[in-house]
Amino acid sequence: MGYEARHWVRLTAACNNYCIFCLDAAARMGEILPMKGIMEDLQRGRDAGITRVVLSGGEPTIHTHYIEIIEKTRAMGYTHIQTVSNGRLFAKQEFLDKCLAAGLDEITISVHGHTAELHDKLVGVEGAFKETIVGLANALKKPNLIVSCDVVLNKLNMEVIDDMMWYLVRMGVREFDLLHVIPFSAAWDNWETLNYDPDTTVEKFHRALTIAQNMGVTIWTNRLRAKYLEGFEHLIQHPMKLHDEVRGRNKMFTEYITSGKLMHCHGKRCPSCYMESWCGDLINMRKKKQITGYTAPKCLETGKGRKSKGETFQWDGPDTDLSKWTQFFIDHRYYVKGSVCKECSYDKVCAGASVNLIKEKGFKILTAQKRKPPSKRRKASCPN
């Protein structure tokens, strides 16, 4: 699956749900953002040559000028308009029809449980499940509308992920975006409730993926580490999406580059974060003034088995370009190991293989290598 740049535009800093895993909880000021700023943000995307836009929030549909924004977005030259929503307002058929007439092409509706008890607990609003499901059903009836569901994977729903997907597939959903919960904002405040060990749930998760794929369902994953998709490598999130993650926290990372102030989230939550290796490398690069890319693992070396020298990225002080650094990381440092690596003699000194390569070829290209025992020199005989 290829990667097409999308311009994300926030319409609100408010929401009619109170999800216990919300990444935007700290930014939820109850504000409907002004049209002037939204239009300027939309224009920045067009100036960058992007034609695909995602209208998000908070909850974008509660913006008082939501339908007008869709119309103006289309008039600016965006050819594909998507929105990410909890779907509750789409339960009103008239509202949905007006959105489609204005130019909305795609809706991603967030569903986090297959029962009212589970979903409402996660989104913090009693009765939300009923409205969301009606909104989803209304959207699925529209023949020219692309409809998908996103699910935030967490401890409360991972045990029933197969039942959830069955429920939604039976409704007619044919596309899912599965997002691994990450330790930010409200999610961090509720981490004990939400955090799960992927190693203990990977078998059930893989069964759910197999069932969905056998039924022709399209699946995307988001922020899920590549090692948990062995056997489903084509579902690894496109590495280029790291650019989206960096842009989303640009202020925090820029502050680190210019002042050296560590990211506010740095510390005990890092092992649970999708960005752990990216951030760790950025910190090391600042300390050492440069960082060298990895090279091919022993099992993939070609020619006479010689290792090529890794590319190097130089620290440029406050002028260090985050976008260029991220691309260097994707090309030369974003590596992953497979289960076979545990059997390899070089496991402790090898970074694995590029995620780009694994996504394309699969973990099957990796093989365990055994070191040859050191040769013993024959002692010279005594010249008597």
The yes-or-no verdict on residue 87 having pLDDT over 50 is: yes
CA angle 72, 22, 159 (to 5 degrees): 120
> Could you tell me the residue range of the domain that residue 275 belongs to?
253-365
The confidence score (pLDDT) of residue 1 equals 46
Is there a domain that residue 231 lies in?
A: no
Q: What proportion of the chain, given as a percentage, has pLDDT over 90? A: 81
Round to whole Å and give the CA distance between 138 and 99.
13
According to DSSP, the residues that pair with 8 across neighbouring strands are 54
Is there a domain that residue 257 lies in?
A: yes
Question: Do 16 and 158 have their domain in common?
Answer: yes
Round to whole Å and give the CA distance between 14 and 16.
7
The confidence score (pLDDT) of residue 384 equals 33
Question: Do 215 and 273 have their domain in common?
Answer: no
Question: Do 51 and 100 have their domain in common?
Answer: yes
Question: Do 210 and 85 have their domain in common?
Answer: yes
The yes-or-no verdict on residue 295 having pLDDT over 70 is: yes
Is there a domain that residue 236 lies in?
A: no
**Boundary-marking domain end, from 185, 206, 224:** 224
pLDDT (tens digit per residue) in 121-147: 999 999 999 999 999 999 999 999 999
> In 10 A of CB 23, how many CB atoms?
18
Is there a domain that residue 208 lies in?
A: yes
**Boundary-marking domain end, from 224, 245, 274:** 224
The confidence score (pLDDT) of residue 383 equals 40
The yes-or-no verdict on residue 371 having pLDDT over 90 is: no
pLDDT (tens digit per residue) in 228-276: 999 999 999 999 999 988 988 899 999 999 999 999 899 989 998 989 9
The confidence score (pLDDT) of residue 92 equals 98
Residue 342 confidence class, pLDDT cut points 50, 70, 90? very high
The yes-or-no verdict on residue 376 having pLDDT over 80 is: no
Question: Do 131 and 271 have their domain in common?
Answer: no
Question: Do 218 and 262 have their domain in common?
Answer: no
The confidence score (pLDDT) of residue 29 equals 63
Residue 2 confidence class, pLDDT cut points 50, 70, 90? low
Question: Do 169 and 297 have their domain in common?
Answer: no
Is there a domain that residue 379 lies in?
A: no
Closest CA to 103 of 83, 74, 65, 135: 74
Mean pLDDT is lowest, of 70-74, 140-144, 203-207, 281-285, for: 203-207
**Dihedral in degrees, nearest 10, Cα atoms 151, 189, 326, 332:** -80
pLDDT (tens digit per residue) in 10-36: 999 999 999 999 987 766 667 899 999
Strands 353-354 and 335-336: what pairing? antiparallel
Residue 55 has φ and ψ, to the nearest 5°, of -90, 120
Is there a domain that residue 142 lies in?
A: yes
Question: Do 306 and 355 have their domain in common?
Answer: yes
Question: Do 271 and 201 have their domain in common?
Answer: no
Mean pLDDT is lowest, of 77-86, 206-215, 301-310, for: 301-310
Domains held by the chain: number: 2
Q: Tokens representing 154?
A: 């967490």
Q: What is the pTM of this model?
A: 0.87
User: What CATH number corresponds to the domain at position 142?
Assistant: 3.20.20.70
Round to whole Å and give the CA distance between 159 and 115.
13
Is there a domain that residue 180 lies in?
A: yes
Mean model confidence pLDDT for the chain: 92
Is there a domain that residue 77 lies in?
A: yes
Question: Do 155 and 296 have their domain in common?
Answer: no
